[in-house]
Structure 1
């Protein structure tokens, strides 16, 4: 039975684990990103700053303020490729299985339902206590900061964001996202998800190379890494 996927996104074969009789649908969110130190131009919005080849289209996105609180338990989750956070009051988790096999690709499956986050947390903590949002899934706060985000949708599919944090660090990210709808209780084959994200990664790599004139140089570091480095310098951070 064919499943409805946005953008005509359909695996070659629907995996046999997908339930045939369910009451609704759930979504799986795939995200791939590439970090860049900074932009080489003041803004992507003004074509007068563009070089060759020019962008096909640029649509500014609304400015955002993101208040993030990250949670972990003795670095157990992050070291296994699971990041749990509360963003503007809503729980989110990102899973990057490649971290567990020594690869550092920024390819994520994003979880937004609290029961899915609880299952992911307990898969690593193995605690008998029930992991619920009301008790922060049994985790401890490890980081808290605010990000001010400027963004653009470029060439239709790609999102470029410029983040500035409350602790003084900035980074640019190029992102692709795809949402897969499956029947409630079903699953999508893990190998298929990884192949989709590899394809998304290749598209981002080609995008970054095509518009090399838009990106500036400098040290590339994610916001969490920069946050912990700042905390260590201040004598108030955890060792990683």
Structure 2
């Protein structure tokens, strides 16, 4: 197996283990959450309107609780870090190690070399998110945590995982595009993570939250997935188009990249 795919496999495996661990804790904690729900609601209501929205979504149903904890809080934050980490070193890492010239001297076309790296990293995000999410009902059965009939559906969980993964792939695509021009990996990672943290924090500021892209993976989005019975095509299609545009931009940018 080529190094690119071997590396992506192990990165995806580690990401999967983190997702599964958090999902198991989230589901296992749900009965205790129900016992302490009133106190948590009072606390959230004192923190601001956006926290009140999260609190309402969490307490309305078991799906609301799972969506907030697994997909919005953990998935969006950890997923952003993973997306930036997986993409930033794709080209900038070679430049920093002074191996870019050797890499570009390979007989394969540039676009093929870069496309392979892009796909390897993208699949290391997409597959773990969808597969581990679909295991939600099974984990609930193992932990003996009862779910509502609508929530006890692997397709619903997989659809939510796909929605989150495609959103994270946009972040991955942006970081990948930046990597085709950057030379310092650490600086690129820190810059993108600071921007991501600022945009995530903006979601909790009334009047500014509409400018936060994380609104596309907030509890309302996952409520819509549940009400729709699965994948939201009016989100999946635009997300996919944006990802394709970012990939094309990365390929064009890399064609003009000079060894440094």
> TM-score, normalised on structure 1?
0.25
Where relative contact order (Cα < 8 A, 6+ residues apart) is larger, the structure is 1
Q: Please report the TM-score for the alignment, with normalisation by the length of structure 2.
A: 0.23
Name the structure with the higher helix share: 2
